[in-house]
Chains A and B, each alone.
Chain A
């Protein structure tokens, strides 16, 4: 699918109007591909009266059938045989259920220039080797979660000197070892090379609080960075605002706010969203976002709060052209940010709480992923 590669190999990652044509063409081709190859997706388009020919302007993207991530947790849809896929990845399954998403080689070929392009743009790429501290899972053959692979991938933006993980597999389950992390940070303080702390914001917060309690402070070498990914997940009730977290980072690790990057993405939508220097997620040319009315799913104008609909023609193995997370958020015009990037930026307000549902209706707990056993 050349139209997809044309879009993802574009060199100007934040030129939305300039990429509209290529984006639309890639979406038309992607949608047609899934209709041809995935009977379930074809049924959905037919039932909802949609065909790729209806995509004439960028506003028409709202007409593409929207598949909630919740749907991918209940049904597995593939548009290619699993043998032809590059890999299969699962979401982290905070609520007990997870999506199974297949990645094709063409998707990986398209992701590479996007990640490199945005990596340079957001100062993630550096030739200087670095020690990596990963506040996440150490890869293990039984772990297929996208976030584990993403965090491992992120260690390659600079040549990795070492990798220290916070979560290790012991007897079949992951256990945290924050002391090991604290010892490593102490060691890296004296290194000639910078350190990169990559991980879940929740673990960074818990780890820093623990260091603060123990009276531990380090001053990591110049050019050290924090790269956050994966969101707060099951710890969302303890989420703190960014400025509180960043202030503690500066105090405890000696890393200035400008060296903190946050990433956003989903297994179902692996577009590489990065925060700008003002910590906003601007929409890159590889994706589009529609905010939808929580009550009607109709598109909402800029600034209104609603469900986040993510659109990207990135994947051929799984029909994830237009997906909807269970997060609420809103868009703000890019000019209001002031960082220089002109595309609108997304603010995520948090989950609507599908995973917190308590139920005793027959069959419902199984549906919500809570009924496998006791």
Chain B
């Protein structure tokens, strides 16, 4: 299906729409710009309707079993949107600024082409919303496997506020339709891509030199341990984080680096951590998550053996979890599902190791003595991390925080200087 100008159309209409799209986009650009207030009011009203359960039957039809929009709902309120605007763009987001001879105005980038992957329901809507808030026209390539949630959401949004209709297009476009993807990219001022390395690499080949690339790629996160404030509480919080997120998130702990070069101390740490992990794993409901942990952990072990990487490591196998003490120092993806890697990395040697993952670094969960926290935080940030948190809250979201080191709304805007 295609969503165009407030209407749902069959895929067969794609060629006709694409043929007329440029003229339509030009006409919208020439009209007075979309104001953030219009978007905020519409989203706020829609958020309230969502919260009241009005869309519950619709949602249950589109959402995968066990998945809710609980994390997304709080973002769909006036307070949250206004807070986002002021956090990212300052207290007067769209006000002009006077300079000696010129006035600086803030304008939307123009047309954004969003490529959203299917790894989080609601993400295609969220990325379009960021584009709308900044006054852009949004062309969204829906992920394969979006069963209609995004189309329904766009429908509800434009029904709530018809003035948004000319700013929203969504295409259920297979990635193989290269020609159509190129046509959409050619119309865009910015290409917003979410996803793994494969998606990012493909997007780079789509965007021509005149199209700005805005990439929200996948990231790696780790914990760094150099002493403790409260050892039991901190290790327990870290173990809970590892088990609860299944190490699936950008912000999930994949590797625990120890500020040490003593293998025996590493082994002692692993044994201690394993008991915390086992306690956290025992709280998982049903046999499914434990089975996933065992399958992932065992498969990853076999891969390391076949690749000749298992020599010299120590495996601490627990019930539904494992700690693997590795002799190397690289930041890498863990086997996930509660199978965490531990590596020795004295703080003086942090930088070269982390630089090898530049562009992928996200969160460091820092466990250390209080007196060391500031110095270690500085070291981690200089190495390229974009978040430093306490170990248990690596995946928590904090009000006003940036997205992978950037304020997205700023990237969807441009500054224009006008001589008086």
- A residues whose Cβ falls under 8 Å from a Cβ of B: 40, 43-44, 47-48, 65-68, 70-71, 74-75, 77, 237, 294-297, 305-307, 324, 326, 328, 352-354, 356-367, 370-374
Q: Is B60 an interface residue (CB 8 A)?
A: no
A-B pairs with beta carbons under 8 Å apart, 15 shown: A71-B302, A74-B303, A77-B306, A294-B294, A295-B281, A296-B319, A306-B291, A328-B291, A352-B288, A354-B292, A361-B221, A364-B248, A364-B333, A365-B196, A374-B198
Residues of B within 8 A of A65 (CB): 302
CB pair B198–A373 under 8 Å, yes or no, is yes
Closest residue of chain A to B321 (Cβ to Cβ) is: A295
Q: Is B383 an interface residue (CB 8 A)?
A: no
Of A48, A294, A359, A361, the most chain B CB neighbours within 10 A belong to A361
Q: Is B83 an interface residue (CB 8 A)?
A: no
Docked pose: A357 CA to B336 CA in angstroms: 11
Residues of B within 8 A of A364 (CB): 196, 218, 248, 333, 336
A361-B333 contact in complex given A296-B294, A373-B202, C-beta closer than 8 Å: yes
Residues of A within 8 A of B252 (CB): 361
Residues of A within 8 A of B202 (CB): 373-374
Quote the shortest CB–CB distance from A65 to chain B (angstroms): 8
Quote the shortest CB–CB distance from A370 to chain B (angstroms): 7
Residues of A within 8 A of B198 (CB): 365-366, 371-374
Q: Is B203 an interface residue (CB 8 A)?
A: yes
CB pair B302–A67 under 8 Å, yes or no, is yes
Report which of B193, B199, B292, B303 forms a contact with A352, defined as CB distance below 8 A: B292
Report which of B119, B220, B292 forms a contact with A365, defined as CB distance below 8 A: B119
Docked pose: A40 CA to B302 CA in angstroms: 9
Report which of A44, A353, A370, A373 forms a contact with B302, defined as CB distance below 8 A: A44
Closest residue of chain B to A362 (Cβ to Cβ) is: B218
Chain B positions 306-339 with a Cβ under 8 Å from a chain A Cβ:
306, 308, 310, 317, 319-320, 332-333, 336
Dominant SS among interface residues on chain B = mixed
Docked pose: A352 CA to B296 CA in angstroms: 12
Encode B260-275 as 1/0 by CB contact (under 8 A) with A.
Answer: 0000000000000000
Closest residue of chain B to A65 (Cβ to Cβ) is: B302
Interface size counted on chain B using CB atoms at 8 A: 55
A75-B306 contact in complex given A295-B293, A362-B219, C-beta closer than 8 Å: yes
CB pair B195–A297 under 8 Å, yes or no, is no
Docked pose: A47 CA to B249 CA in angstroms: 31
Quote the shortest CB–CB distance from A202 to chain B (angstroms): 16
A352-B295 contact in complex given A294-B320, A366-B198, C-beta closer than 8 Å: yes
Residues of B within 8 A of A356 (CB): 64
Docked pose: A341 CA to B202 CA in angstroms: 56
Encode B279-301 as 1/0 by CB contact (under 8 A) with A.
Answer: 00100000110111111101100
Q: Is B247 an interface residue (CB 8 A)?
A: yes
CB pair B294–A295 under 8 Å, yes or no, is yes
Docked pose: A48 CA to B118 CA in angstroms: 38
Docked pose: A79 CA to B220 CA in angstroms: 36
Q: Is B166 an interface residue (CB 8 A)?
A: no
Quote the shortest CB–CB distance from A293 to chain B (angstroms): 8
Quote the shortest CB–CB distance from A72 to chain B (angstroms): 9
Closest residue of chain A to B248 (Cβ to Cβ) is: A359
CB pair B291–A294 under 8 Å, yes or no, is yes
Residues of A within 8 A of B219 (CB): 360-362
Closest residue of chain A to B115 (Cβ to Cβ) is: A374
Report which of A43, A357, A362 forms a contact with B360, defined as CB distance below 8 A: A362
Residues of B within 8 A of A67 (CB): 302
Q: Is B141 an interface residue (CB 8 A)?
A: yes
Quote the shortest CB–CB distance from A86 to chain B (angstroms): 25
Residues of B within 8 A of A70 (CB): 295-296, 299
Q: Is B117 an interface residue (CB 8 A)?
A: yes
CB pair B320–A359 under 8 Å, yes or no, is no
Report which of B65, B248, B302, B332 forms a contact with A237, defined as CB distance below 8 A: B65
Residues of A within 8 A of B288 (CB): 294, 328, 352-353
Q: Is B143 an interface residue (CB 8 A)?
A: yes
Give the 6 A-B residue pairs with the shortest CB-CB distance, closest first: A294-B291, A371-B196, A295-B320, A359-B248, A362-B218, A374-B199
Closest residue of chain B to A292 (Cβ to Cβ) is: B294
CB pair B287–A328 under 8 Å, yes or no, is yes
Residues of B within 8 A of A305 (CB): 287
CB pair B302–A358 under 8 Å, yes or no, is no
Knowing that A362-B197, A371-B195 are A-B contacts, what are 17 other residue pairs whose CB atoms are under 8 Å apart, sorted by A's residue number? Answer: A47-B310, A65-B302, A67-B302, A294-B290, A307-B295, A326-B295, A352-B288, A352-B292, A352-B295, A353-B292, A358-B120, A361-B248, A362-B196, A365-B117, A365-B198, A374-B143, A374-B203
Q: Is B175 an interface residue (CB 8 A)?
A: yes
A307-B248 contact in complex given A68-B299, A360-B120, A363-B197, C-beta closer than 8 Å: no
Quote the shortest CB–CB distance from B251 to chain A (angstroms): 9
Of A68, A306, A359, the most chain B CB neighbours within 10 A belong to A359
Residues of A within 8 A of B319 (CB): 295-296
